[in-house]
Amino acid sequence: MNATPRVLAVLDDLLASAAPDQRGALWRLAEEGRELDGNVVRLPAGAEVGEHQEDVLDVLLVVLEGGGLVRMAGGVLELGASTVLWLPRTSRRALVAGPGGLTYLTVHRRRPGLAVKGPGVAYDGGEGPCMLDRVCSGCGRLSEDPVPVFCNRCGERFPER
């Protein structure tokens, strides 16, 4: 792993070089060995990220350009340029771009990748007979993530498998 800090993107340059009608992910954090994921996403005017719930990860969302709103059970939050929003895990929400569109950066803990299990390990649905490898040694919480990296409650790192 390269542990040297470096500039990955200059957001003003990234946004200026994107075509005005370009939508979706404009940039993704893709460095080897990282423990974070990050994306710059552009939604055109009126576009929506439908209602969803993230059960495992908290997400930090920073509005870079434009505006919009977040719809949730408790009401609506207005978003404008430079707004920083915390989307806690288990919160249900939908994003809607305003008339000028919405461009935002999201940052969250990296999800573990899919893994091929070794010979003799078969999963045919349901929970495995032993889930001790999913119990946090720091607080005792059972992770819902089948291959946890960090505990969602206390932040303790799970042993590598």
Residue (of 95, 57, 60, 54) closest to 78 by Cα position = 95
Q: What is the pLDDT of residue 154?
A: 67
What is the arithmetic mean of pLDDT over 101-106? 96
Q: What is the pLDDT of residue 102?
A: 96
Q: What is the pLDDT of residue 33?
A: 83
Q: How high does pLDDT run on average in the chain?
A: 83
Number of Cβ within a 10 Å radius of residue 67: 18
Residue ranges and CATH numbers for the domains of the chain are: 11-109 (2.60.120.10), 129-161 (no CATH)
Q: What is the pLDDT of residue 151?
A: 73
Residue (of 55, 1, 64) closest to 27 by Cα position = 64
Cβ–Cβ < 8 Å for 72, 95 = no
Q: What is the pTM of this model?
A: 0.68
Give the tens place of pLDDT for each residue, 45-89.
999 988 888 888 899 999 999 999 999 998 999 999 999 999 999
CA 96 – CA 130 distance, rounded (Å)? 42
CA 103-36-89 angle, 5° bins: 75
| DSSP line for 84-126 | EEEE-TT-EEEEEEEEEEEEEEEEEEPPPPP-PPPTT----SS
Residue (of 27, 22, 49) closest to 38 by Cα position = 27
